[in-house]
């Protein structure tokens, strides 16, 4: 069974800092890996989707990379802002047709 | 374009009852997926529907079922409710099958089982 882990569970940084969130998965047989953010009491917002054949995706200040061989993905956030404060989740859609979410990283950006 | 809508937003039921949740996808989206979110288990995949057919199913008991209509709207049903079914239920829609496309999530239905 696929296990998706995110470290750290919580992160607090000053505004303007660049930061990296980590996501690890145990089974490299995945179709894609997605990053989401969840604001308190709300649904999820899709940030980036990386297909298994891709190495990275970029959207604005966000860059996500995927290394299937090592079972890792990272989400890089440049020049963090208070509005980036949220819980960030990664999720892997594996070839067993199951979708597994990570445990999440709660990010606080301090003004 | 309107987003994904879920009704009702909040629901309180008692053990043993059944409940039906509704999800209306973004216009033109044919895939609808359902998820359960609890503090203890996090987010878990329930099932995915595409063109009125269940394509994939997560590891949940048969008490959890769903269906999709010809207009892509989807319903999820939970029978014989248990206290552990208390959760935020999220649905998401996307254009393509197999979740190869970006998913758009609704705000969720908060179910409380007493």
What is the per-residue DSSP string for B52-70?
Answer: TEEEEE-S--TTEEEEE-T
Contacts of B105 in chain A (CB under 8 A): 36, 43-46
Render each residue's pLDDT in chain B as its tens digit; 114 residues: 679 999 999 999 999 999 999 999 999 999 999 999 998 888 999 999 999 999 889 989 999 999 999 999 999 999 999 999 999 999 999 987 655 678 889 999 999 999
Do the Cβ atoms of B92 and A34 come within 8 Å?
no
**Phi-psi group of B99: left, alpha or beta (phi > 0 → left; psi -120 to 50 → alpha; rest → beta):** left
Do the Cβ atoms of B45 and A104 come within 8 Å?
no
Written as six digits, the tokens of A44 are 């999820």
Interstrand relation of A44-51 and A30-38 (parallel, antiparallel or unpaired):
antiparallel
Q: What is the pLDDT of residue B97?
A: 66
Out of A31, A46, A51, the one facing B103 most closely (by C-beta) is A46
Rounded to the nearest angstrom, the gap between the alpha carbon of residue A79 and the centroid of all alpha carbons in its chain is 17
Q: What is the pLDDT of residue A88?
A: 97
Provide the terminal-to-terminal Cα distance of chain A, rounded to the nearest Å: 41
Give the span between the Cα atoms of A23 and A105, in whole angstroms: 9
- Alpha-helical (H) ranges within chain B are none
């Amino acid at each position: 069974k696929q296990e998706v882990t995110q470290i750290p569970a919580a992160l607090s940084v000053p505004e303007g800092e660049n930061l990296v969130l980590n996501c690890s998965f145990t089974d490299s047989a995945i179709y894609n890996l997605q990053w989401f953010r969840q604001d308190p009491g709300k649904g999820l917002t899709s940030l980036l989707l990386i297909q298994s054949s891709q190495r990275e995706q970029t959207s604005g200040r966000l860059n996500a990379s995927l290394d299937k061989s090592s079972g890792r993905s990272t989400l890089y956030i440049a020049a963090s802002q208070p509005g980036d404060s949220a819980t960030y989740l990664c999720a892997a859609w594996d070839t067993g047709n199951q979708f597994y979410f990570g445990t999440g990283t709660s990010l606080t950006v301090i003004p | 374009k309107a987003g994904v809508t879920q009704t009702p937003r909040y629901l309180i039921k008692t053990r043993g009852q059944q409940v039906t949740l509704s999800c209306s996808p973004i216009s033109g989206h044919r895939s609808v997926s359902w998820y359960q979110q609890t503090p203890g288990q996090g987010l878990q995949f329930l099932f995915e529907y595409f063109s009125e057919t269940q394509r994939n199913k997560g590891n949940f008991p048969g008490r959890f079922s769903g269906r999709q209509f010809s207009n892509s709207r989807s319903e999820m049903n939970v029978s014989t409710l248990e206290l552990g079914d208390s959760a935020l239920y999220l649905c998401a829609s996307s254009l393509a099958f197999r979740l190869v496309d970006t998913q758009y999530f609704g705000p969720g239905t908060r179910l409380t089982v007493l």
